[in-house]
Structure 1
């Protein structure tokens, strides 16, 4: 079905101004002003290793669509854990925000090419607000579109198996092909995780020049990172996540804090274990692979289990 968004243009619209910082909503202004924003940058089947790779393709089916003259939201496959958004206006710099009530606000850049981009519903089931903002000047934005959607995600792992804007790949990606190649000899999920980790940390070098010049809104291109064999921490994480997802292993690219350090890590879902936090993580100096013997209760590393079991050590902020 096709519905108009709740946004309306003209003098009858009642709008409120909002200010949004790096950590989400900071405050509201009285209603009546033009709406603007300041935006800173069930049963689980056992793992059956795919022959080669298994890449899911997001689709804008056109069954459930909300739109106005500025943006279109396709929520046809919300049960798979993602939505697709495209901008159809004429402004050059666009932002999209996705917020589940009570959770962090996820802010993304949105291209202005009129092509759909994929965004995960990382916070699970519930009511989400999807908003599109057009840049006015500097970091001031005007709301162009807003729509609430109720997500009942039947594919629990969908948000962390499909490609999205932050972890972007497809069946023809060189990263997918390399992931299949390096994990061909693995017989289980831990084997795949180890193979991917070992390949990436052995073959990639940290790009210090890029780290010193990277701009807000940067998005990894996993095939470019693979070809250049260098990148920043975000590149490492995106490449590993793409490889693991294409091996049908649910994987979260997580950013947050360990102590006061802004930190990145990767969580994976392992059959019989559930979600394993920080299985691959960046400690501020290098990427680490958690001792995989945690998977056997008879051989757990006491020190590792104590560390990852202490919630004060890791504080997740966003999952992509």
Structure 2
């Protein structure tokens, strides 16, 4: 009995040992299997090995005779043709680097076939203490690429010689187009908020970056290209940073955006810092804004609009700023806006306050395409009765608004002003038809506004002359009488317009008066001539009703109409 028990104890011990050995053996085999599996799962390594086997015996990388002159050694790569998994490192040394005319190696990567991200990408790699190193990726993914390494001349600036070239078979399908900077971009210490120079966009691409070696005095130029179309624009650098929403004007497809920095050796000249490719997913085609040299000279930044061709319901807003540091920056107190539709043209003025402008204007001639020109005023010291201005941006707007040219507020005619409306309501109180209202407004203006002889003789005209100023001061010249009368008429829902012409005796001078639409017909009003006359250089108040709807044949004996101003 005792022997039988000993036998079973011994048997169980042997079984346990066998189980333990078996378990250990299984674990070891599983571990080796896992390692092998993990090794197999490194992406595309098998494809690299297979491709290198297809290439066969790999020929060592050869250097040019120029390399021998400089004492160049290329540590990586080592072969003339080989396969790679998405990336290749180039590592070299130059014994006689101090003889070179530039501090950059020029590396060109060219795909055998055109792809979405182009066919070529260039790297400018700094040479530091005789060494250079650059990681390159393959912008069109899987395929064949030729790579050349060029080093600067010892004799001529901006001249490079071939040093080495090799062929890479990239097996990795991932596309990665590095952001590369030219020497100019690197000197400007430029960085961008994008890791790739091939990106997607949808109508707009938000460009953001830094240029640590540029000051607020500098600007950056953008140049956008697609097929035969191109557009350029200048943007400011503020505290070493820049940003701009770039419109992708030319519809679906790849737009090339070149970012340029100032050339330190030449005024008003720019050099390429980097180039981005932006694949626009939108079919929409937009109209570029045409910027003149005045835009840069007068320090304008137009924030809105960023492109032309937008639709409007008849009212349109522009927004931007003036650089206070440029010449005439502090003196630029307003912006002129010219809107043109066919033969019809209007001029509006919006103020610049604290070096910014943000205001709207009317597209007053009804539905259609308008050409809009934004201008800055000529800055001059002497007074004059005319104003010159210089366009800085031109674009188109599509309007769906009604033709209300003679009812809407306009330059100098604030018919929507509460003060104007209140005065018009007071003056026309109790009048039941438009003719009586117009006569009451004519009477009020002619009786209450005195002629400003000094303003006329000194040419003391200002851009903000208007109905409101006349209502407050109760004095002015012919334009001011007309502004106030028209504003009060329009605020009373009576169509009215500003008429330009000449008036007087033998030597007629420039003059302005009013036409109002009463009972379906245009009627003449000249509140200036109805207010009095000049004698010995002084204004003599002498109200006359004669210049409200005068006999037109008699009126033409002293007045010559040249047109309507909007």
Instruction: Tell me whether the two structures share a fold, i.e. TM-score over 0.5.
Output: yes
1:148 aligns with 2:372: no
Pairing partner for 1:188 from 433, 436, 442? 433
CA distance in 1, matches of 2:415, 2:515: 19
Aligned residue number for residue 56 of structure 1: none
Alignment deviations for residues 238-292 of structure 1 (CA, whole Å, 9 cap, x no partner): 1111211111112212324469642212122224x24x05334656986976676
Residue of structure 2 in register with 1:264 after alignment:
512
Distance 1:136 1:236, change over 3 A: closer
Residue 288 to residue 210, structure 1, CA distance change in 2 (3 Å)? same
Structure 1 residues 207, 148: closer, same or farther in 2, change over 3 A? Answer: same
1:127 aligns with 2:369: yes
1:100 to 320, 325, 340: 340
- Return the match for 2:321 from 73, 88, 92: 88
Shift of 1:221: 4.2
The within-5 A match list for 1:25-64 is: 35-36=292-293
Per the alignment, do residues 313 and 118 of structure 1 end up closer, same or farther by CA in structure 2, a change over 3 Å counting? same
Aligned-pair distance for 1:110?
A: 3.7
Does the aligned pair in 1 maintain the 2:445–2:481 contact within 8 Å?
Answer: yes
Q: CA, structure 1 residues 147+308, in 2 after alignment: closer, same or farther (shift >3 Å)?
A: farther
Using the TM superposition, give the Cα deviation of residue 125 of structure 1 relative to its aligned residue in structure 2, in angstroms.
4.6
DSSP-derived class of the 1:162 partner: coil
Deviation at 1:201, TM superposition (A): 0.9
Q: What is the CA distance between 1:107 and its match in structure 2?
A: 4.7
The reply to whether residue 237 of structure 1 matches residue 494 of structure 2 is no
Residue 418 of structure 2 is aligned with which of 135, 160, 172?
A: 172
Tell me what 1:314 maps to.
561
Number of aligned pairs? 249
1:166-222 CA-partner distances (Å, limit 9, x unpaired): 21254531x322221111021110101111111111121111122234545432343
Task: Indicate conservation of the 8 Å contact 2:350/2:357, yes or no.
Answer: no
Structure 1 distance, partners of 2:560, 2:454, is 29
Check whether the contact 1:98–1:128 (CA below 8 A) recurs between aligned residues.
no
Q: Confirm or deny that 1:10 pairs with 2:255.
A: no
1:227 paired residue among 461, 472, 478: 472
How large is the Cα RMSD of the aligned pairs? 4.2
Displacement of 1:120 after TM fit?
Answer: 4.0
Structure 1 portions without partners, runs of 5+: 16-33, 38-67, 295-300
Tell me if structure 2 keeps the 8 A contact 1:130–1:148: yes
The change in CA–CA distance for 1:132 and 1:9 in structure 2 (over 3 A counts) is farther
Taking structure 1 as reference, are residues 204 and 104 closer, same or farther at Cα in structure 2, changes over 3 Å only?
same
SS at match of 2:410: coil
Asked if 1 retains the 8 angstrom alpha-carbon contact of 2:341 and 2:365, the reply is no
Query: CA separation of 1:85/1:266 partners in 2, compared to 1, >3 Å: closer, same or farther?
Result: farther
**Is 1:264–1:281's contact at 8 Å kept on the other side of the alignment?**
no
User: What SS does the corresponding residue of 1:160 show, helix, strand or coil?
Assistant: coil
Contact 2:312–2:400 (CA under 8 A) maintained in structure 1: no
**Residue pair 2:374, 2:394 contacting (<8 A) in 1 also:** yes
- Which position in structure 1 is the counterpart of 2:352? 112
1:278 match: secondary structure: strand
Greater strand share, structure number: 2
So what's the TM-score if we normalise by structure 1? 0.61
Q: Give the Cα–Cα distance (whole angstroms) in 2 for the partners of residues 167 and 132 of structure 1.
A: 20
Residue deviations 1:113-154, cap 9 Å, x none?
344444344555542211223469769976543221233442
Structure 2 unmatched runs, 5+: 1-202, 206-219, 224-229, 234-290, 295-299, 324-328, 381-386, 534-542
Give SS of 1:191's match.
helix
Match of 2:525 in 1: 279
Higher relative contact order (CA 8 A, sep 6+): 1
Counterpart Cα distance in 2 of 1:163 and 1:251 = 11
TM-score by length of 2: 0.37
Q: Answer whether contact 2:312 2:397 (CA < 8 A) is retained.
A: no
CA contact (8 A) 2:446 2:528 kept: no
- Contact in 1 for aligned 2:497/2:564 (Cα 8 Å): no
Q: Deviations over 1:28-55 (max 9, x none)?
A: xxxxxx8346xxxxxxxxxxxxxxxxxx
**CA drift at 1:89:** 3.6
What is the aligned counterpart of 1:77 among 282, 302, 313? 313
